[in-house]
Amino acid sequence: MRKKQINIFIYVAIVVWIYAFIGFNFFYPVKTKNIKLKNKKVIDDIYEIMKNENDENKETTKNSLHRWNEGINKNIQKNIKIINEEILQNLGNDFKYIPSMTELYWSSKGNNNSDKQYVSTHMDGPFYYCNVYRVLVTINGNQNINTVFPNDKLDINLKKYDISFFDYNKAPHYIYVNKNKNDKSQRIILKLHYVESPFKKHCEKVHCKFGRQTRYLFERNKKNLYLEGRIARTGLYYNTFRNYILFVIMLCILYLLFYNKNSKFIYLLYLFIFTEAIGFLYILHFNFISYKYC
């Protein structure tokens, strides 16, 4: 590559780096917090209904089971409405509930293939410019499973009636198994989601589509990890550790600018620009695809 072409390419890399850095760091996360639900009866009611469903489906004793909002029965929906009202009182008027993202989830007792993403540090979404709370309402806890939010220095064992609030896109977290405990009960979690201005309507739609697409990939790759599952996991890790990658890329740019333009570090810039372009198109495509319940 000629010297002039290399210079132009480095400047392109700088522009892409600035875009990535601002997009990742300009928007601050909503605050992580944990509270107890005041109205405990609604949790007890949901637990009894789900326990009966669990007993009818013994497969859930070892595998995860998931239901979207439209698949949740009406008796549970009534209780979710009461929980939602209490959460909105805590969050304030700036937030709006996203019913299309509501999930009921029986946790897996093993960590195979796509389940393994939960035991690795990760962030749930790539939409850094959106303020979306993911709220975990614990229907039934498990003393073995802890959730860690490293940026907030929080290590939490979610117990029945606990509610955990964290940023869907900007709060890194992971779970681990506490081997000092011997709790064989299955963790049951209700996942609720809330969006804050700006871009409320847009953020609600893209998160709904993203959640359903990633859930499909998760379920498809649970027993066998296919190429799409490996790509999705790689993208998840790239987003999670993006600041570290940006630091390395900046060192490469400085080296190429001021020391040796013919260095093989130029190939790292190729890879960086390609990856960021793919990531941008991936985020953009959620504006054009459609899902039945979004």
119-136, pLDDT tens digit by residue? 678 899 999 999 999 999
The helix/strand count (H/E) of the chain reads as: 7, 10
Task: Report the predicted TM-score, pTM, of the whole model to 2 decimal places.
Answer: 0.88
Span 122-177, pLDDT tens digits = 899 999 999 999 999 999 998 988 999 999 999 999 999 999 999 999 999 998 88
| Residue 184 pLDDT > 50 | yes
How far apart (Å, rounded) are the C-alpha atoms in residues 102 and 120?
A: 23
Domains and CATH numbers, the chain: 3-25+241-285 (no CATH), 33-200 (2.60.120.620)
Cβ 77 vs Cβ 190: under 8 Å: no
Query: Which two tokens mark 146?
Result: 């802890």
Q: What is the mean pLDDT of residues 246-265?
A: 89
Q: Where does residue 129 fall: left (phi above 0), alpha (psi -120 to 50 degrees), or beta otherwise? A: alpha
How far apart (Å, rounded) are the C-alpha atoms in residues 75 and 228?
A: 37
Cβ 112 vs Cβ 154: under 8 Å: no
Span 78-108, pLDDT tens digits = 999 999 999 999 998 899 999 999 999 887 6
Q: Which residues pair with 105 in a beta bridge?
A: 66, 189
How far apart (Å, rounded) are the C-alpha atoms in residues 172 and 127?
A: 14
Residue 198: asked if its preceding bond is cis (omega within 30°), the reply is yes
Phi first, then psi, for residue 83 (nearest 5°) are: -60, -45
How far apart (Å, rounded) are the C-alpha atoms in residues 200 and 273?
A: 30
H-helix or E-strand containing 105?
strand 103-106
